[in-house]
Structure formats: structure tokens, C-alpha cells
Structure 1
Amino acid sequence: MKLLYILMILPFLSCSAQKKLQIETILTQPARVTSQDPETGRVINRSTNIPKTKRTEPAIIMQMQYEDKLTFLIQGNISSGGHTINKVKKIRFEKGKQNGNTITLKYFVEIKRIPGKESANVGGYNYTKEETYIIPEDVKVIHVELYHERLDRSYDQYLKDKENPKLVVQQTFDIKNTIVKNEN
């Protein structure tokens, strides 16, 4: 009976937490800001939200490379707050075209709008995900692109966005020479 329990738990122990999508809340705090109007010289006091949590810059960072595997980190952020709750649903992979010895990998961050009201202290969400790609033998250059895709659009807007998705960041990895080109 104990052996049965061990065999049932074994698949869960082999799961790697590094491969999963990690989401962190960007917190803000209210603050009073004083500024002066340049035309009238009047002092203006107003309230604003200042971020407590740093926003992660959108990037694709190479973690490690073996002969036939490339591991890289996808990271970025989305805005959310007030009457607009935006959540990262998942990061979807679409293999692009192979042109000679160059291949293009496309990753889409699916952003879903949820009805309701976000907390006043939430300014958005940071996301990170580690990806591993097995490199074909004839490929020497890998071009990785990251897009944001909103799922809450009407069908016509969805088709229009599908034709011209919003490119967030792109990165080129030269596998044979291990040269990395950043193209933000």
C-alpha cells in the first residue's frame, strides 16, 4: 500500500517549478506630490501612487546553452488597476518560420480582462517564465520574439490584432558563435 502512495506522488515530485509561469504583483502606495505651475507660479498639491515593487523590464535572457538545447528566460510586465483588471493567462509558443539556418520562435503573452475593480494598491503584474528549446542540427541563429495578445477584444478587433500583434521585445541568439544581439 505504501508503494502505491509513493508511485502516485512520484510524478508530482519530478515537476520543475522553474518551468512554470511566475506572476508577481506590482504594488503601489499613495503619496502627496507638490508641484509648481510654471505659468501662474501657484503651488499645486495632489495625490498620486508611487510604485513600491519595481516593474520588470521586458527581456529575453539566455540562461544556458548546451550542444542541442537553449534555455532562456522570458520576462515582462502588464498594467492593471482601477476598473480594469488585466491578468496574464499563459504564455503561448508558436514556432515561426525557418529561413535557411535561421529560425524564428514566437511567444504570445495572453492577457485576459476580468470584470470588477482592482485594489487601489495594485499597479500591474510582473511575469517570468523559463523556456527550453531543442535546437535542430541545421540551425545556427535563433530569433525569439515576445508579443502581448489581449483576449477581451471583439472578434473583428481580434482578427485585426492577429494580423499585426504588438511586439514587446525581440532577441537574436547566434548559436554557433554564442553571440547575443539585443534588439529592443
Structure 2
Amino acid sequence: MPQQALLVMDVQRSIVARYPDPGYLPRLGAAIDAARAAGLPVIYVVVGFRPGQPEISVRNKMFGRLAGVAMPAGDEGTQIHPDVAPAQGDIIVTKRRVSAFAGSDLDMVLRAGGIEHLVLTGIATSGVVLSTLRQAADLDFALTVLADGCLDNDPEVHRVLTEKVFPVQADVTTVADWAAATSAALW
């Protein structure tokens, strides 16, 4: 079986706050616990920029509004939500755009670790999950999406992506089913 890693993407405090779902962080925590119990790497992907945001172009429709905005170092909103905080040994990768691969060293970390299969979770389904899935598929990674480990502000968009779009390039399952299968693989 190819070596897997769980990607926990964009679960920073300010992002989680915009997607109110009281069951989300506990479900995500269950996926993280299952990965750790199985000895799988847990990789957190966060969006971040240098002071002054030199990586941001005003032409970028999504991030351009942040160009030149003063962001205090260590801003609490940019931190990973404490309910799913990294543990010792987990990896944190900083990206500069929507895809987890864009402007980050994620590909290097994965290849150095012999990772061939990515298990995707994160906020938002139509943002980081979609962009990362597409790029990862083009990079020949095997993919699994934990549908209830992803959130989107539009439930219909989430449904269409997880039921119709993602299955073309990935296996789509639930946190509970993936955790059970991951646990069973240990025995």
C-alpha cells in the first residue's frame, strides 16, 4: 500500500470562524487521531505571507485586497485552530495561494517522505481542496477526499464537488469510514 499522509488545510482560526459548523472540528479531530494512531504523517497547510505581503499582486482577485495591508506578526487569526492543533512531529507547510502546492515546499516534503497518497481535508471545498486535488492529480498522487472533513460556505457546491467532480480523480469517503479502514489496515 502506498504511503499516505493526511493534509489538514486552511484550518486557521480566522478561516474556521467564517464557516460555522459545530461538528466540523470534532470530525476533523477524529481524522487526525486516526492518522496519528496509524502512524501516518499529518501535514498542516496554512496560508501565510511575509511582512508587507510581497507575494501578493493587486491583480490577484482573491488575495489582492491584502496587498500592502499591515498584518501583525503572530496574529491569532492566522494560527491553526487549537481544537485541531499540531502535535510534535506533525509538519506545517505555508502556502502563498489557494492550492497547498502554490508557493510552498509541500511537494518536496511529500517526495522526501515517500508519500504517494494524499488524504485531503480542509476549508473550503471549492478553494484549497479543489485546487490541491487538481494539482496533486497532475503530479500523480493517489487521492482520497474526506467529504465531511471539508467545508464550504455553499452546501450545494460542496455536494457537487464531493459527489460529481472529485470522484473523477479521487476516492471520496467519510472521516468515519476512512478512520475505520485505516485502523483495520493496522491489523
TM-score strictly above 0.5: no
- TM normalised by structure 1 equals 0.20
Q: Which has the higher contact order (CA 8 A, sep 6+)?
A: 2
Structure number with higher strand proportion: 1
Structure number with higher helix proportion: 2
Larger Rg: 1
